[in-house]
């Protein structure tokens, strides 16, 4: 395990111990150990373990050192497994409800005897939670809402997580001797922010062994339907998937059909009909003549295509990337002579808004710089939290200026091919003032301004608050403009149209926060806003090195929003970015 993975396990242990009501010193030791690990470089940790010197580090005792060593070498920890098994799963599940931490769950468990989600919902409905010391009616309502949201959201899954499950399965399918073609279709292929289920399409003339392989995958927890050419399964996370096996000649048609969306398919069929053809998952056949589309295709009346792109040619259209197939006028765009080139991952030359161990990140400045260089990025913007975000260990004036100096030194040292920009993710205070004075902000290369508290303000207040920040000449960009956390927390109330107007008028960038949990500003706003002159920045909001890769989720959203490279700030070359920031 890497140091960050080990740190995560230690944090989980601390939470579980808190749920059990263990000694606070013990709990603090695990959290402290996680912090220490994060501040070490990976190779430093490996050296310390090899030399058996880990317990010589301040904050790591002998017992903790032994556990870290076990996790590092075996990837497992007996103590952790036993701890998990000793706690009711319902209590652990409650940790996912916003507003419920280990302390509160323990109180609910002890005082109300509740250890399942359904019991907790009932206790809220009866008003028993409000009666507990330290809770009250307001927090009871928040918990009840959290449980309701969980149920409503529970049916969908983050694109990022679904993709992590689907990618190796597609690769596995392609390895099978019987498989000619395999692809994941549906909302996953369209890069939707959340996915209902995954749709696998395979081209093969012998479906039997393909079905057997798929249904027998170790990650499959239940086979909910099994047929000759179609099966449905459920994975451990609750994610479901369909596999359809079609004859190789039908593959491209099926892939297009099951990529969808439904609305897109309707528009495509309409296009075909206008040209005297009938389009379906079976093929593209003459609209006139005997029988249904399927029968005609089976009689060999379909146009023959070997890949999806040819379907578009057949219909006299430019190929529309899956991300754009939402039935939002893409056929008209594809029929026009000028089909735009939408932004691609390779257009990005760097990324802003990233955290380090100085606030709530898991990797040091040097590690983040190294990770950005490995990715070939010309620049990396650091933006740790400001002091009002005390829960995220936000930096005060002194620490942020020290970081500016550290970054200057790091750039001057020339150890990394990536230039580092020093910034801050400065809190927008409740009245729209910023957490740092203009004098401090002026010493930074760039500033991301974000809302992190008082989410329940009225729409009017929140809109004024954000606009005031957007109007501040020191603010380079607005961070996660709605504060939503997908499948977990609704956006706060804000008049986005007004915020976008203000951003355009003040030449303030709005970020497309690329964290798979946020994707905020939502893709549905971007095309119109960009046409009116809004500049976008695809920001990973990385809290560790691996988080830099989240820009891929941002690219999906940007393509769905039909952004082109010139609409996105971090496609610019380093010198252009420096000139832009210098002018502000």
The residues binding Zn ion (CB under 5 A) are 450
Q: How far apart are CA 20 and CA 105, in angstroms?
A: 10
Nearer to Ca ion, 199 or 541 (CB): 199
Q: How far apart are CA 207 and CA 212, in angstroms?
A: 9
Q: How far is the CB of 347 from ligand DGT (least distance, A)?
A: 27
197 binds Ca ion (CB under 5 A): yes
281 binds Ca ion (CB under 5 A): no
Nearer to ligand DGT, 233 or 467 (CB): 233
With CA atoms as reference, report the closest residue to 41 among 393, 371, 473: 371
260 binds ligand DGT (CB under 6 A): yes
Nearer to ligand DGT, 137 or 273 (CB): 273
Give Cβ neighbours of residue 366 (< 8 Å, ≥ 6 apart): 41, 410, 415
Site string for Ca ion, 241-270 (x = CB under 5 A): -x----------------------------
Q: How far apart are CA 102 and CA 20, in angstroms?
A: 9
Tell me which stretch binds ligand DGT (CB under 6 A): 135-143, 192-200, 410-418, 522-530. Answer: 192-200
Q: Half-sphere exposure (CA, 13 Å, Cβ side) for 490?
A: 13
Q: How far is the CB of 331 from Ca ion (least distance, A)?
A: 21
Q: Which two tokens stand for residue 9?
A: 């396990």
Question: What Rg, from alpha-carbon coordinates, does the chain have?
Answer: 26
Pairing of strands 446-450, 477-478: parallel
Tell me which stretch binds Ca ion (CB under 5 A): 125-133, 238-246, 269-277, 494-502. Answer: 238-246
Contacts with Ca ion by CB under 5 A: the residue count is 5
Q: How far apart are CA 268 and CA 411, in angstroms?
A: 52
281 touches 253 (CB < 8 A) = yes
Tell me which stretch binds Ca ion (CB under 5 A): 66-74, 149-157, 170-178, 197-205. Answer: 197-205
CB under 5 to 8 A by kind: which of Zn ion, ligand DGT, Ca ion, none does 278 bind? none
Nearer to ligand DGT, 191 or 260 (CB): 260
199 binds Ca ion (CB under 5 A): yes
Tell me which stretch binds ligand DGT (CB under 6 A): 86-94, 122-130, 196-204, 419-427. Answer: 196-204
CB under 5 to 8 A by kind: which of Zn ion, Ca ion, ligand DGT, none does 450 bind? Zn ion
Residue burial 147-171, b: 16+ Cβ < 10 Å; e: rest = bebbeeeeebbbbbbbbebbeebbe
Contacts with ligand DGT by CB under 6 A: the residue count is 14
196 binds ligand DGT (CB under 6 A): yes
With CA atoms as reference, report the closest residue to 395 among 432, 441, 445: 441
Pairing of strands 197-203, 240-246: parallel
Please give the residue whose beta carbon sits closest to Zn ion in the complex. 450
Tell me which stretch binds Ca ion (CB under 5 A): 69-77, 179-187, 398-406, 576-584. Answer: 179-187
Q: How far apart are CA 396 and CA 355, in angstroms?
A: 15
Q: Which two tokens stand for residue 154?
A: 């529970």
| Residue list 261-300, contact with ligand DGT (CB under 6 A) | 261-262, 265-266
Q: Give 497-549 as a DSSP string.
A: HHHHHHHHHTT-EEEEE--TTT-BS-GGGHHHHHHTT--EEEE--BSSGGGGG
Q: How far is the CB of 520 from Zn ion (least distance, A)?
A: 10
- What residue ranges bind Ca ion (CB under 5 A)? 186-187, 197, 199, 242
Residues at the site binding ligand DGT, with contacts judged by CB under 6 A: 186-187, 192, 195-197, 199, 257-258, 260-262, 265-266
């Amino acid at each position: 395990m890497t140091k960050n993975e080990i740190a995560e396990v230690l944090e989980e242990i601390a939470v579980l111990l808190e749920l059990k009501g263990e000694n606070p010193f013990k709990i603090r030791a695990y959290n402290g150990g996680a912090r220490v690990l994060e501040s070490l470089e990976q190779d430093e940790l490996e050296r310390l373990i090899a030399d058996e010197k880990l317990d010589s580090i301040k904050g790591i005792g002998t017992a903790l050192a032994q556990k870290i060593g076990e996790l590092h070498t075996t990837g497992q920890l007996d103590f952790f497994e036993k701890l998990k098994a000793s706690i009711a799963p319902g209590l652990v599940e409650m940790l996912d409800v916003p507003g419920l931490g280990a302390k509160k769950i323990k109180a609910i468990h002890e005082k109300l005897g509740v250890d399942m989600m359904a019991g907790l919902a009932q206790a809220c409905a009866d008003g028993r939670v409000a009666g507990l010391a330290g809770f009250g009616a307001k927090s009871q309502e928040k918990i009840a809402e959290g449980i309701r949201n969980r149920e409503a959201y529970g049916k969908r899954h983050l694109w990022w997580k679904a993709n992590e499950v689907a990618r190796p399965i597609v690769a596995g399918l392609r390895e099978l001797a019987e498989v000619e073609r395999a692809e994941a279709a549906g909302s996953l292929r369209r890069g939707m922010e959340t996915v209902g289920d995954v749709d696998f399409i395979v081209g093969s003339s012998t479906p039997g062994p393909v079905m057997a392989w798929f249904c027998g995958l170790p990650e499959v927890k239940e086979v909910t339907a099994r047929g000759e050419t179609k099966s449905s399964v459920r994975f451990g996370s609750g994610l479901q998937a369909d596999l359809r096996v079609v004859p190789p000649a039908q593959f491209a048609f099926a892939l297009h059909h099951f990529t969808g969306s439904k609305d897109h398919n309707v528009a495509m069929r309409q296009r075909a009909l206008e040209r005297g053809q009938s389009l379906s998952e079976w093929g593209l056949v003459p609209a006139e003549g005997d029988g249904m589309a399927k029968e005609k295709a089976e009689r060999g009346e379909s146009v023959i295509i070997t890949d999806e792109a040819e379907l578009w040619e057949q219909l006299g259209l430019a190929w529309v990337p899956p991300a754009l197939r939402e039935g939002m006028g893409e056929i008209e765009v594809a029929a026009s002579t000028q089909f735009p080139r939408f932004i691609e991952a390779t257009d990005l030359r760097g990324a802003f808004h990233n955290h380090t161990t100085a606030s709530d990140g898991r990797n040091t400045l040097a590690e983040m710089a190294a990770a950005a260089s490995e990715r070939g990025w010309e620049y990396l913007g650091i933006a740790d939290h400001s002091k009002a975000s005390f829960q995220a260990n936000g930096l005060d004036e002194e620490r942020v200026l020290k970081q500016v100096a550290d970054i200057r030194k790091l750039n001057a040292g020339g150890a990394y091919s990536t230039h580092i920009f020093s910034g801050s993710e400065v809190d927008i205070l409740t009245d729209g003032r910023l957490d740092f004075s203009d004098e401090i902000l002026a010493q930074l290369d760039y500033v991301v301004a974000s809302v992190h508290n008082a989410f329940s303000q009225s729409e009017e207040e929140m809109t004024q608050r954000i606009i005031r920040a957007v109007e501040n000449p020191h603010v380079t960009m607005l961070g996660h403009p709605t504060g939503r956390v997908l499948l977990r927390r609704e956006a706060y109330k804000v008049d986005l149209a007004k915020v976008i107007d203000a951003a355009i008028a003040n030449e303030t960038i709005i970020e497309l926060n690329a964290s798979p949990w946020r994707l905020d500003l939502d893709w549905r706003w971007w095309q119109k806003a960009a046409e009116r002159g809004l500049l976008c920045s695809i920001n990973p909001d990385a809290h560790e090195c691996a988080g830099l890769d989240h820009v891929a989720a941002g690219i999906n959203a940007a393509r769905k929003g039909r952004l082109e490279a010139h609409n996105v700030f971090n496609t610019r070359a380093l010198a252009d970015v420096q000139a832009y920031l210098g002018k502000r």
